[in-house]
Structure 1
Amino acid sequence: MDLLVSSLVIAIAVAFSNIIARYTKHIAGTYINLLMGVIVAAIPWTNHLVLGFNNEVFMILILAPLLFFEGQTTPLLMVGKKAKSIIGVAVILAVGSAIVATVITSRLLLLSLPVALTIVAIATPTDATAFDAVVEGRKIPQPIRNILKMESLFNDATGIILLQAGILWLTTGHLSFWQNTTAFFKSAVGGLILGAILAFIVMAFRQYFVRSTNNVISSQTLFYLLTPFLIYFLAEKVEVSGIIAVVTAGLVHNSEANRSRFSSPRQMHLGIQLINLMTEVLNSAVFVILGISLARILVSHSQILFGSLTWLIVGVVVYGLLLICRYLYARLFVSDRRRKTAWLFSLGGVHGTVTLAMTFSIANQISLQLFNFIIVVETVVIILSMLVPTILFKFLLLIDGDAEIRTTELARIRHDMVTKGIESLEVMALSPTVKAIVVYDLQDQIRKNTLGSFFEQWHAFTANKAGLTKLQGVEQRRALMHALDVERDYLFQLEKNHLASPDDIDEIYSELLLAESLVLDPRNQML
């Protein structure tokens, strides 16, 4: 029950913060989510309703499906082509920077090597969602964006193995290179193989039914939604990387979706909408949770924060060393070795809730005093990794004005399209009642109807279904289809004469087809 209430509070916070983000266009939406999390933690009543951060719950309920959906939006072919660079950033860079940062941090700040490795290992995984937050509204080269996304998908396993090595070293006093190397390959390769096998089995099962007369969309959708949870749970049970397993499963499902989209269009469309919805909600939830956790950490560890500045120095040094290692790696090994590209790559290594989850995962394995110290250090690393690039990207990256221009252009095309549709009604012999209803429906495409006119239509429909007879209902449908057909023809002419961007036309055209399905398809009608 407590978990349900906690989830409900977070979900409400996500909903409201995403609405507020629409009114603060100059601030990235994820920062609004972060601030909303801080507010939830600052209000005693809501703070009491939200459970304390649990890394296992977070990993399986938030991170597993999020990585699965992100993997599904990534073509498997691209991963194959980028395999060398993925291994480079997710393994070689991660391990190399961890070794360098551990040794320098230990000697510079007089920390023991095991403690230094533990701190650095936790800060190793990067977060694609957090990176999107700091780069929102600015243009960044697509190759850099792609490699940073690939890195964040696969380097979590490396960070976890390094953390296990650090904890083992800390508790036993010994560091076994071969043992940890074997554990890494078992975890990563095992997760890769298990994820692929399980995903293939699920895919074959779903495809068998989708190509038969016994297909049940509700059951198929449930199987699909449960896939990342089941795969992550099974992978962790057999002690391989659950993260790698769900990412691999997502990649396999990407190819499935591309080769079966027309076998059951309703199921495919529902699946795509669910991916978009879940990805947006989970991404926002990640930052609400991060905001709540950071606020609680700062309050509960105030004695450490004000007692000494060692935590701050360690956090700054660790972040700085990892930043330098990333910069040097980019200058030496990334295909585009220009200085600016190297800075973009290095600053793009943003940390988020995965770092926080890894920190909480060791709470019962080390002393409370050391855990409290590490958690405030990692808080510094997370905040710096988001704050520094947010500031520097203002100088390194241009503002993405294309998005604003595109919004204006889409609005113009929609307005002209709807005008054509309404004008086409003049050639039809429609009763005044039917014409008024059809014009209202067409104007809804550009949100031209006021709230007052909506309530008038709602009252009329509720009172007597708008007073339409069966014959008038047929007339209404015929008029709508005629107007929508005219609108489609208008879009076709725009594209044919190169008067608008194909991407803009495709976006509006797809909305138009969905509108037509609401008129034609009995299953989409709520009458």
Structure 2
Amino acid sequence: MTQPGDDGAAGQLDPAAGRGQPTLIAMQIVFTVLVLILAVALSGVVTRVSPVKLPLPIFQIALGAVLALPLFGLHVRFDPDVFLLLFIPPLLFADGWRIPKREFFRLGRPILALALGLVLFTVVGVGYFIHWLIPPISLPLAFALGAVLSPTDALAVSAIAGKGKLPPKLQHLLEGEALMNDASGLVAFKFAIAAALTGVFSIWDASFSFFVIAIGGLMVGAATAWGFSYARRQVLRWSGDEPAIQVALLLLTPFAAYLFAEHFELSGILSAVAAGITMTYTDSADNSSSATRLQTNSVWAMLEFIFNGMTFILLGLQLPSVIDLAHADAVAAGNVPVGYLFGYVVAITLTLIVLRFFWVWVTQHLRFFRRIVLGSAYRPINLWLVLATALAGVRGSITMAGVMAVPLVMNDGTPFPARDLMIFLATGVILTSLVIASIFLPMVLPKLPQPAENLQEKEERRARLLLAKSAVAAVEQAHDQMLHGLSEADAQLLEEVSGSLLSVYRARVDAESELADTNLRANRHRQFERELRLAAVTAERNEIYRLRETFQINDETFRALLRDLDLAENWVMSPLVSKH
């Protein structure tokens, strides 16, 4: 990913350093990666303890800029292709895997309107605006910048709004849009860059090529996910349940999907998205153990946090040099004062918001008139909802990863024109969109209609009730089957065990009851049980540490017992036990 050098990496080495030079370069790369991981971790701490509540990406960009100061002197130079391969596939794969599939397909039309229609509208509208505003940026490059600014970041919006503050339908719409426009925006970006490199562009050829590489990429991604799921099942059958092997194969899936598609000159971006969506359906409940699922979720949560954080910290690292180089680009092309560059950023960000507002407003009216013509039920258009949707178009890590993938040189070996200026503008738009959303979105959200009861919570409560009832029926059936042929003493013991277990599940049934008194008593019972279990687990954990410190057990026994207690505590803290 990185290379030391005086134009962007720390520690330019003397060519006469001999055989020690590769070792020193490797050590510097490893050191840089470790510093970046540490910076990601520190950004999470700073966000939690800071009295000023700002989105995590802003802290990460600021931290990257601090690391680039002469005091620290940390600089990184990118290979765009490696950067794109390293960051894009896992992030898109995770988005496709995580997104609620039912809501994604139910909201297919509005999602496609935003993820395809709005992307094209943004590329053309912002492209022409950028070319008019900054003539040194040619029209193909302006379209490329418009394309890379099209992807939105639903996670950043959730962080700004707060958990559960967005209406569920709007939240699902933004998540679906972010997933699809990541792919469509980056594919459009690659077409625009290709046009800038070759100087040739045909709308018909591009449309046909887009259709072929998009469909092909989706098919390759789905096939790759199915193939890796099959391989994981075979490994599970041959080697038994070994979570580490399963997780390792899963980690390879997004990169394999991306590389396979790119090898056949199809869309690796869409392939990674399709692999993530497909993985949900190919991984059935009997394919892996609970330990594998727990480890998989933990690993992916960590990787998402690190990869997202590193993109923003790397963005911050580029800020000082990018501002200077962007100014140099602008001065060379037209003697533009540096203050104008920041004005350009604000103008482009506001244009993106206005175009998004206009697109959502128009599509809402089209749906409104369509329902009138069809005689269907309709609701008046809520302008606050349109404004919230427009403000929620925050740019994030995908925009950052995309713009960093702009080639360093043209086909003839000359430097890529206005590359640093494009990176600066994209960086500025990310920051400005985050700040604008942080200020105004919390003001708009209270104006939005909120459902009387969160549909997800209602659905979750009903599902818990059905789960508890099915568990009661299964325990009763197993009890009756096990009772046959048992001695009187064993039958009495079985009765005690099943009675104790049934009381737990029946308490869960009562906790989801519609009767207020029954519900209240059951939840108080569950609260007492949870607190007592936590007290017991805490005491057990303290005793385990005491036994290790007094050398009564070795580290291997310590880890095995501690893992069991951690799983027990995780169960106690799970929603099934701690809800309400």
Cα shift at 1:327: 0.8
- Which residue, out of 234, 256, 261, partners 1:230? 256
Partner of 2:64: 37
Q: Are the equivalent residues in 1 in contact too, given 2:308–2:397 (CA < 8 A)?
A: no
Q: Are the equivalent residues in 1 in contact too, given 2:311–2:400 (CA < 8 A)?
A: no
Partner of 1:318: 348
* CA distance in structure 2 between the partners assigned to 1:466 and 1:177 by the alignment: 71
Ranges in structure 2 where 5+ consecutive residues have no aligned partner: 1-25, 368-378, 448-523
- Which residue, out of 124, 134, 144, partners 2:160? 134
Question: Would the alpha carbon gap of residues 420 and 354 (structure 1) be closer, same or farther in structure 2, given more than 3 Å must change?
Answer: closer
Question: Per-residue displacement from partner, 1:432-465 (whole Å, max 9, x unpaired)?
Answer: xxxxxx68526x7xxxxxxxxx7x9856642242
* CA distance in structure 2 between the partners assigned to 1:169 and 1:461 by the alignment: 65
Q: Are the equivalent residues in 2 in contact too, given 1:161–1:180 (CA < 8 A)?
A: no
Cα shift at 1:236: 1.8
* CA distance in structure 2 between the partners assigned to 1:382 and 1:4 by the alignment: 28
Question: Per-residue displacement from partner, 1:486-510 (whole Å, max 9, x unpaired)?
Answer: x99xx9xxxxxxxxxxx9752648x
Question: Would the alpha carbon gap of residues 152 and 55 (structure 1) be closer, same or farther in structure 2, given more than 3 Å must change?
Answer: farther
* CA distance in structure 2 between the partners assigned to 1:418 and 1:159 by the alignment: 48
Partner AA of 1:333 in structure 2: T
Partner of 2:50: 24
| 2:79 aligned with 1:79 | no
* CA distance in structure 1 between the partners assigned to 2:544 and 2:574 by the alignment: 31
Cα shift at 1:319: 2.4
Aligned 1:292-441 pairs, distance under 5 A = 292-301=317-326, 303=328, 307-334=337-364, 337-360=381-404, 361-365=406-410, 367-368=415-416, 370-398=418-446, 416-417=528-529, 420=532, 441=539
Partner AA of 1:380 in structure 2: G
* CA distance in structure 1 between the partners assigned to 2:114 and 2:235 by the alignment: 40
Cα shift at 1:88: 1.7
- Which residue, out of 206, 211, 226, partners 1:200? 226
Question: Would the alpha carbon gap of residues 274 and 374 (structure 1) be closer, same or farther in structure 2, given more than 3 Å must change?
Answer: closer
Q: Are the equivalent residues in 1 in contact too, given 2:99–2:176 (CA < 8 A)?
A: no
Cα shift at 1:9: 1.1
Partner of 2:74: 47
| 2:351 aligned with 1:253 | no
Question: Per-residue displacement from partner, 1:245-304 (whole Å, max 9, x unpaired)?
Answer: 1111111111234x2257523222222222222223323333222322334423554555
Partner of 2:455: none
Q: Are the equivalent residues in 2 in contact too, given 1:120–1:318 (CA < 8 A)?
A: no
Cα shift at 1:197: 0.9
Structure 1: 4+ residue segments shifted above 6 A: 412-415
Cα shift at 1:179: 1.4
Partner AA of 2:296 in structure 1: G
TM-score (normalised: structure 2): 0.67
Cα shift at 1:104: 4.2
Partner of 2:39: 13
- Which residue, out of 259, 269, 284, partners 1:243? 269
Question: Per-residue displacement from partner, 1:292-327 (whole Å, max 9, x unpaired)?
Answer: 233442355455598344534443333222222211
* CA distance in structure 2 between the partners assigned to 1:420 and 1:23 by the alignment: 31
Aligned residues: 445
Q: Are the equivalent residues in 1 in contact too, given 2:104–2:172 (CA < 8 A)?
A: no
Partner AA of 1:345 in structure 2: T
TM-score (normalised: structure 1): 0.73
Q: Are the equivalent residues in 2 in contact too, given 1:200–1:252 (CA < 8 A)?
A: yes
Partner AA of 2:399 in structure 1: T
Question: Would the alpha carbon gap of residues 68 and 162 (structure 1) be closer, same or farther in structure 2, given more than 3 Å must change?
Answer: closer
Q: Are the equivalent residues in 2 in contact too, given 1:28–1:136 (CA < 8 A)?
A: no
Q: Are the equivalent residues in 1 in contact too, given 2:186–2:269 (CA < 8 A)?
A: no
Partner AA of 1:59 in structure 2: L
* CA distance in structure 2 between the partners assigned to 1:313 and 1:321 by the alignment: 12
Question: Would the alpha carbon gap of residues 102 and 65 (structure 1) be closer, same or farther in structure 2, given more than 3 Å must change?
Answer: closer
Cα shift at 1:96: 1.9
Partner AA of 1:316 in structure 2: V
Q: Are the equivalent residues in 2 in contact too, given 1:75–1:254 (CA < 8 A)?
A: no
Q: Are the equivalent residues in 2 in contact too, given 1:75–1:251 (CA < 8 A)?
A: no
* CA distance in structure 1 between the partners assigned to 2:187 and 2:530 by the alignment: 57
* CA distance in structure 1 between the partners assigned to 2:169 and 2:537 by the alignment: 46
Partner of 2:182: 156
* CA distance in structure 1 between the partners assigned to 2:546 and 2:119 by the alignment: 62
